[in-house]
Amino acid sequence: MDLLEGGPTDRRAGRAAGRAGDLGRWILKYTDGVTENPLPACPECAGAYAYEMGSLLICPECGHEWPLDTAGPGDAPEERVIKDAVGNVLADGDTVTVVKGLKVKGSPTGIKAGTKVRNIRLVEGVDGHDIDCRIEGFGQMQLKSSVVRKV
Ligand SMILES: [Zn+2]
């Protein structure tokens, strides 16, 4: 029957498509590796073709081996600096004041300018809301660092 034969064929086609996809990714990765070596240049001869072997980097040009510095520049996650409205760097536990009135859903007054907020916590917020805090009368809130000022 056509229907019964159709099934396995379709599955085979699906698998073939999957393989093609893998190959595509592999080619992309390979090309990236060739055109842009993300590893640092050799400290001995400045050769750009160093490759990774375990925790060592090896330069094929002069044979120099050196430890892979996982904390090196470009590799380390960039430390995020969060600044207030006037450029002070904020830290967990800081006390800030709100510099402008903020509308709050469900509140007739909103948060007034000058409201003091104690013990802020810096977070990876949604939409630039990088401060997690508790505001009296409002509860747990997330604010943008651009609307507060360090006290
Ligand atoms: Zn070298």
Q: Model confidence over 94-142: pLDDT tens digits?
A: 999 999 999 988 888 899 999 999 999 999 877 889 999 999 888 999 9
Q: Distance, CA 77 to ligand 1 centroid (Å)?
A: 27
Say whether pLDDT at 9 is over 90: no
Mark whether 100 and 145 lie in a shared domain.
yes
Residue 66 lies in a domain: yes
Q: Distance, CA 49 to ligand 1 centroid (Å)?
A: 8
Mark whether 104 and 142 lie in a shared domain.
yes
Q: Domain containing 70 — which CATH number?
A: 2.20.25.10
Q: Which has more pLDDT, 70 or 61?
A: 61
What whole-number distance in Å separates Cα of residue 109 and Cα of residue 106? Answer: 9
Mark whether 70 and 113 lie in a shared domain.
no
The full length of the chain comes to 151
Q: What are the distances in angstroms from CA 92 to CA 9, 48, 69, 97, 102?
A: 59, 41, 29, 14, 22
Residue 83 lies in a domain: no
Q: Distance, CA 40 to ligand 1 centroid (Å)?
A: 11
**Total domains, the chain:** 2
Residue 27 lies in a domain: no
pTM of the full structure: 0.49
Residue 52: give the domain boundaries.
33-78
Mark whether 115 and 142 lie in a shared domain.
yes
Say whether pLDDT at 5 is over 50: no
Say whether pLDDT at 38 is over 50: yes
Mark whether 43 and 70 lie in a shared domain.
yes
Say whether pLDDT at 59 is over 60: yes
pLDDT computed for residue 16 by the predictor: 47
- Tell me what the mean pLDDT of segment 10-33 comes to: 48
Most confident of 28-42, 81-95, 98-112: 81-95
Could you give phi then psi for residue 87, rounded to 5 degrees? 100, 0
Mark whether 111 and 137 lie in a shared domain.
yes
Mark whether 74 and 107 lie in a shared domain.
no
Q: What are the distances in angstroms from CA 35 to CA 27, 31, 60, 117, 149?
A: 12, 6, 17, 50, 46
Q: Distance, CA 66 to ligand 1 centroid (Å)?
A: 10
Question: E strands within 36-102?
Answer: 51-53, 56-58, 65-67, 96-98
The residue behind tokens 């699906």 is 14
Mark whether 39 and 66 lie in a shared domain.
yes
Say whether pLDDT at 27 is over 60: no
Residue 26 lies in a domain: no
Q: Distance, CA 33 to ligand 1 centroid (Å)?
A: 18
Average pLDDT over the chain, rounded to an integer: 79
Q: Domain containing 141 — which CATH number?
A: 2.30.30.40
